Structure 1
Amino acid sequence: MKVVGQEINRVDALGKVTGEAKYTADLEPRDILHGKVVHSTIANGLVKSFDLSEALKVPGVVKIITCFDVPDIQFPTAGHPWSVEVKHQDIRDRKLLNQRVRLYGDDIAAVVAENEVAAAQAARLVKAEYEEYEPIVTVEAALKPGAAPLHPDIRSDNVIVHSHMTMGPSDFTYEEGRKKALEEYGEEGLVEIDETYDTPRISHCHIELPVSWAYVDTNGKATIVSSTQLPHIVRRVTAQALGIPVGKVRVIKPYIGGGFGNKQDVLYEPLNAFLSICVGGRAVRMEISREETISGTRTRHAIEGKCRGIVTRDGRILARQLEAFANNGAYASHGHAICANCGNVFKDLYRDRLGAEVDCWTVYTSSPTAGAMRGYGIPQADWFAECLTEDMAVAIDMDPCEFRLKNCVDDGFVDPANGISFHTYGLKECIKKGREYIRWDEKREAYKNQTGPVRRGVGMAVFIYKTGVYPISLETASSRITLNQDGSIQLSMGATEIGQGADTVFSQMAAETTGISLDRVYINSTQDTDVTPFDTGAYASRQTYVSGMACKKCAREFRHKVLEYAAYMLNHDVTDLSKTVYSDVVKEAAGKVRHVLGLTEQDEITWDMLDIADSQIVVTGGDPVLFDVAVVADTAFYSLDRSVHITAETTNQCRDNTFASGCCFVDVEVDMPLGLVTVKDIVNVHDSGILINPKTAAGQVHGGMSMSLGFGLSEELLVDEKTGKPLNNNLLDYKIPTAMDAPDLHVEFIQLDDPTGPYGNKALGEPPAIPVAPAIRNAILHATGVSMNTAPMTAQRLIGKFKEKGLI
């Protein structure tokens, strides 16, 4: 491959570093109105009435819409492909504005004003009268017998879904496995671990806030410009929420300043469109504040994992069990998909000789709504599995790295539940490379028998991750390539660039397969549902795999059409507008082809005798060069004999999937009196198939590692259990790692050519955020002998544990 695999600069780099790239807020018209949401001041109850009198007196207020004014339509918000099967459709459990309040800060009204100050002032003056109920903030409270359901219209209790999964025999239970293990090995030959591991509610903290603006165009079409990961899904959901045809909605996605899954939900776009309709189609902007974003959009699920595991004294895992309880918050969003994904990967990660049993519950509570976040339930699954695995290894006094090598899944593993397979398998090689990098054996020995308040430790964690959502859900994507008059090409993808480098790798793919040089590939970075090919969007680490195949198929078809026209030119006198310019060039080229291939004047030159290399039409094999593709383009556009506008558009419905895998190794220093963990060295090693662009791939890993550092050590959105009120929904009190907290991040890759990927590639976007937190936890255990079962491992929690163990 000539272009794929090269470390080229990002195609959007210049625009972004110079500030020329246009984001949603940069494109607003000057006379735009401003929308502001009014939020509930209770966590559970019913809006009885409003007093708008003071709010309406604020100069500049145009209109105030309440929950009593919106369409009586409940709609879903999850960024999933729509299912034609009703039972598989996302849960429709919210309205544009909600009379039934289910979380502190629920959306109950909205103000439209001439300026942002007036909108904010009026929103503060809106008074609501409530019928207040007791908040149900925790999963424990929501599952209590007699707990009032938050959505009695769709559920008689607060369990969204409960699922049961097994690995091994379909009727396997952990208790049966335990019984068999005792019969075979006896109590003396076994160790059983029974622990509960907790993961926190986390905010995405993307730089660009959720922002959109909407207007009604002259044809009556609701048009939304939004910072979203999935413009085509926003279009469908907006139509559903407003009760209008999909064709009456248009969504435009400019450059986007991060999403990480939060913008894989439809947030305020439908309400924004409705507000515009309510003011006669004028443009209305809605930018959600940082405080609203942290607690009022989506979060990562806080999941409690009750885990058990049985292991033999010589290090064979016999059986494991997980009972996972996910706090989904007030609304379904992605519903049970995330907790189910968590449970599925927990059972897949290791080879249980007898079997594994998993039960997952996703539960409504009157707290911030959880949805998609980078890793989609697998960071939680990895925390559970890798804490349990480490604790088993320690209990039998076996090196944790050797223990994992002995028990990780085999090459060619196939998940029997869904058929997803390791088509290529680099996990053990990843472990070997990470082990060598961190000097594992040397440091495990050097850090033995430490004393004193400051200690060192090394830890590790492994992961596996699927690529895309097939066969659980639909995978479909389209691509379009158009020939420009100068021989360059215009590439249009429905897949979205959200900062991860998608536009760059799609450009490389198009250049690789068409033969057009990369400097002549122009990609449209803005998606517009009126003109952009359909794609479900940026999520599930799917785009280079699913959308990448659409790009490759389209590029093949395009190349074929260009070569067909080139063959036509070589077989005919160019008796048209181009004759005076190109006739001699084409005539000479035809002679070269016939000479090289031994053809007579009567033999037809066919398209498959030709190829495109570096934007030149060449004889198959690369020699000789005939003429530039620009000659074909100019002739095809302006020929008086045969004018053809060469374009190709194809759809890829992906019916395959594959596992990516890898590991993290970390060396930490623990200052026990301060409860301070310093990461001294860290490496992620990934098997993500062939890298389309190693430079952007490394950037992806660095970003994911940083997010997992926060997950492990500092980030948690806290909610008052009595009132449901968020306690730290701001960037002063919500602690994301800064440049001062981040160590040097190292990344290595194992590149194996996956046969299902369009260029041998597979998932990379989300995996880097998975293994770092449990690797740090395990390093702390090695350093201090203390098992930290709750993330984040804050100073307060660490000091409490060290005191409990008598270390300080």
Structure 2
Amino acid sequence: MSVGLSQERLDAKAKVTGRCRFTGDLALPGTRIAKYLHSTIAHGRVVDIDTSEAMSVTGVEAVFTFADIPKIPFATAGHAFNLDPAARDKEDRLLLTDHIRYHGDEIAIVVAVDGLTASKALKKIKVTYEEYPAILNHDQALDEKATELHEGSGNRVGEHNYQCGDVQAAIAEADHSLTGQFQTQMVQHCHMENHIAWAYMDDTDHIVIMSSTQIPHICRRIVSQALDIPMSTIQVIKPAIGGGFGNKQDVVLEPMVAFLTKKLGGVPVMLELTREEGLSSTRIRHPFRVNVDCAVNNDGTLKALAMDVSSNTGGYASHGHSIAKAAGSKVVPLYPNAALSYQAITHYSNLPSAGAMRGYGSPQLVYAVESIMEDAARKLGMDSIDFRMKNVAQTGDTNPLTGKVIESAGIRECLIKGRETFGWDQKKQEHQAFKSGNIRRGLGLACFSYGSGTYPASVEIAGARMILNQDGRVTVQIGATEIGQGSDTVIAQMAAERLGIPVSAIRVVSTQDTDTTPFDPGSFASRQTYIVCQAVAETGDLLRQRILEHASTMLELPAEQLTISKDAVVNGDKTVHLSLNELALDAYYHKTRGQQLTAEVSRKVTTNAYSYGCTLIEVEVDIELCQLSILGIHNIHDSGKIINPDLAAGQVYGGVGMGISGALSEELLADPETGWIYNNNLLDYKIATMMDAPDISCDFVETHEPTAAFGNKSLGEPPLLSVAPAIRNAILDATGVAMNQLPMSPKALFTAFRDAGLLDSVRPQERAHVSH
């Protein structure tokens, strides 16, 4: 048995000892270095660009501007191809541009023998701009007099709506109605490894791209489109990756390095972004403005929820409206029995381009929804847990948006377990002594629901190949990309479970190569384990059957009487023992019988399972200092069957930490007049470090999801979804002040406390030291 046990990560030793090889470690001798010239304005046109002095710098091999690139618009979002042209991502990018749409837009690129030379040449390029007023928010973008950032768009990227039940009637008939407006901020992924890619040509027309990408197969297709060259002439290789969180679900560098090597006769060319470039010139999380109407009855029944979202995608669409669309669909399974309505619009602006980021729009919407849920509970005088328990989904409920039955929903069990393990009721009593004065304490709760993949919005397909090697061990090749989350280890466990051999006898090839690896769209949408488990299970079953059939021939026994146990084929009473090593050698080298024993399956998945969970948090607020301390935070998840408990807990710890940082401090700041980015560096962009992390605890409620081969559901993105609203609700419980805008930084707390009159009511002599 392998599934359900904590196995050490396959890549653990290589990563902690430094033997793991990332994209930058694999560069070829003689690799040239490329560097972008970024715009210094947020909106305008390049009216003149002079590259002559840059070209004269010794060691510079080429300088290209927007005048030199193919004029082929392409989409950068990492989605599987859609056969419906109307449903495809917006094709609004060029390799370089003279129409500046955000501060940091790429207008030229230098290729030199090394990075210092390239940087020196960049400083010698002279650019003259015609600057236009910056368009930064919803009202400016959709003003009928606004300049179009992309011709014919009206600055609209997309919009849609849905309604489940009669929302207006439900609001009118309910005992109480509430409204709220919530605003989220620009947040950046800050993965450890910056964006990096390099390319070379190994013959007359074959381009090899090495890239830190979450989506190698999709990347190949987009490069083909951007350069108008056959897909089969492009090979994308993904080695080890130092994190992505969705930022590498966009094709950011790969078309450019392919273009450069092709222009320079096939020499290897590398493009690696600095942290400053990564913060402002890759992708960010979409800022959402969310208006919510909520209706409840006196008994705590949620009658209606109406959500109105404006999503700001920045200068280019990237994932565009699919973020707001996905967010709207993923919240429905949490409260499926209320009347629900959702309308959303995504617009362009002169801010950095927004794309996929962990949670894919759900953190923004869950923040709004779970905040209004808390407001409703307080209006009714109900306990936060009791209110959620009355309204959340149960197994057997119907998702009103899809009409399909929810096969597994453990959210009620999560709340019950959380109440007990977190000591909710006891803490609630203790906090009565902290409801006045300078030091106050509060409890917060928030829930979430989330999908396992993109179906039915997009095709879901995964491929797996297994090979019995000559020594009796098994090699697994999968298209699913390991980006640091531990999926290779989980895949090894699933393969071992189906084959009946130890995990130690499995090798998962972590490098994806589009020329040899089975097709898979990539790592995103918390799809990996849920989608790939179907292909891995079927491939394992197929290889196992082929092994037993060959053993049947060798042993002259019916295959039905044989099984695989550890490293051998045995019969029922284990009186017959044939090692897999002996069997493999026979299959490979017997002169007349056998063949290389392999199996391969490509599987399309046409189901989607919903994960559930909640965050419970205890905070202490120093009113005078406008300072928040997290005394305890507990995340509980229904992710179906947990394949590897230690890795699952690691996902939760990382996700909660990311959620805390985004809730309390992170914000990419733009000048409200010009769109100029203030803080595209890790000194001024306030990301939490390990020194800022509180004690985090987690737990799981294991349900069985019947649509998954091992009963499992998503876990990668859910841990951060409910963190921000839980913190907001705890601050509300402690102080009576509702923080309806992120981040909830000391500066934001000061403004809110001042406006609420709290700072005037707290006298310095009332300060009390409270031991943590």
2:143 maps to 144
Report whether the alignment pairs 1:239 with 2:224: yes
Q: Deviations over 1:160-200 (max 9, x none)?
A: 111111122xxx3x44433344xxxxxxxx22211101111
1:430 aligned counterpart, secondary structure: helix
Report the CA distance between 1:344 and its aligned residue: 2.3
Give the Cα separation in 1 of the matches to 2:712 and 2:330: 21
Give the Cα separation in 2 of the matches to 1:82 and 1:533: 16
1:62 maps to 61
Letter in 2 for 1:448: Q
1:50 aligned counterpart, secondary structure: strand
2:205 aligned counterpart, secondary structure: coil
1:99 maps to 98
Letter in 2 for 1:101: I
Letter in 2 for 1:438: F
Q: Deviations over 1:332-381 (max 9, x none)?
A: 1111111112222344432554x122110111111111111111111111
Alignment of 1:404-419 (within 5 A): 404-419=388-403
Letter in 1 for 2:431: Y
Q: Structure 1 694/622 Cα, relative in aligned 2: closer, same or farther at 3 Å? A: farther
1:459 maps to 444
Alignment of 1:579-590 (within 5 A): none
Alignment of 1:416-427 (within 5 A): 416-419=400-403, 421-427=405-411
CA contact (8 A) 1:257 1:499 kept: yes
Alignment of 1:436-451 (within 5 A): 436-448=420-432, 450-451=435-436
Report the CA distance between 1:411 and its aligned residue: 2.4
Alignment of 1:431-510 (within 5 A): 431-448=415-432, 450-510=435-495
1:743 aligned counterpart, secondary structure: coil
Give the Cα separation in 2 of the matches to 1:409 and 1:96: 46
1:760 maps to 711
Give the Cα separation in 1 of the matches to 2:14 and 2:191: 19
Alignment of 1:638-649 (within 5 A): 638-649=589-600
Letter in 1 for 2:96: L
Q: Deviations over 1:676-718 (max 9, x none)?
A: 1111111100000111110111000100000100121111111
Report the CA distance between 1:220 and its aligned residue: 2.1
Which residue, out of 158, 161, 167, partners 1:164? 161
CA contact (8 A) 1:664 1:772 kept: yes
Give the Cα separation in 2 of the matches to 1:413 and 1:726: 46
Q: Deviations over 1:3-50 (max 9, x none)?
A: 111111001111111100100001012311000011112212222331
2:49 aligned counterpart, secondary structure: strand
Give the Cα separation in 1 of the matches to 2:171 and 2:587: 73
Letter in 1 for 2:654: G
1:612 maps to 564
Report whether the alignment pairs 1:50 with 2:49: yes
Structure 2: unaligned runs, 5 residues or longer: 760-772
1:586 maps to none
Structure 1: unaligned runs, 5 residues or longer: 182-189, 572-604
Q: Structure 1 753/45 Cα, relative in aligned 2: closer, same or farther at 3 Å? A: same
More off after superposition, 133-142 vs 682-691: 133-142
CA contact (8 A) 1:165 1:344 kept: no
Q: Structure 1 411/397 Cα, relative in aligned 2: closer, same or farther at 3 Å? A: same
CA contact (8 A) 2:336 2:398 kept: no
Give the Cα separation in 2 of the matches to 1:176 and 1:46: 51
CA contact (8 A) 1:252 1:527 kept: yes
1:295 maps to 280
Q: Deviations over 1:48-90 (max 9, x none)?
A: 3310122112221100011111111011111110011111111
1:285 aligned counterpart, secondary structure: strand
Greater C-alpha radius of gyration: 1
1:575 maps to none
Give identity over the alignment, percent: 43
Which residue, out of 493, 496, 499, partners 1:511? 496
2:171 maps to 178
CA contact (8 A) 2:332 2:400 kept: no
Report the CA distance between 1:643 and its aligned residue: 4.3
1:389 maps to 373
Q: Structure 1 774/149 Cα, relative in aligned 2: closer, same or farther at 3 Å? A: same
Alignment of 1:624-663 (within 5 A): 624-663=575-614
Give the Cα separation in 1 of the matches to 2:61 and 2:552: 64
1:599 maps to none
Give the TM-score normalised by structure 2.
0.96
Which residue, out of 791, 797, 800, partners 2:742? 791
1:324 aligned counterpart, secondary structure: strand
Give the Cα separation in 1 of the matches to 2:394 and 2:537: 31
CA contact (8 A) 1:420 1:658 kept: no
Give the Cα separation in 2 of the matches to 1:264 and 1:412: 34
CA contact (8 A) 1:291 1:730 kept: yes
1:204 maps to 189
2:660 maps to 709
Report whether the alignment pairs 1:314 with 2:299: yes
Report the CA distance between 1:455 and its aligned residue: 0.7
Number of paired residues? 758
Q: Deviations over 1:548-571 (max 9, x none)?
A: 211111111111111111111123
Give the Cα separation in 2 of the matches to 1:167 and 1:175: 11
1:272 maps to 257
Report the CA distance between 1:124 and its aligned residue: 2.3
1:729 maps to 680
Alignment of 1:539-550 (within 5 A): 539-550=524-535
Report the CA distance between 1:419 and its aligned residue: 4.5
Give the Cα separation in 1 of the matches to 2:280 and 2:419: 39
RMSD: 1.3
Q: Deviations over 1:445-498 (max 9, x none)?
A: 221262211111111111111111111110001000011101011110110110
1:74 maps to 73
Give the Cα separation in 2 of the matches to 1:347 and 1:89: 24
1:130 maps to 129
Give the TM-score normalised by structure 1.
0.92
Q: Structure 1 759/219 Cα, relative in aligned 2: closer, same or farther at 3 Å? A: farther
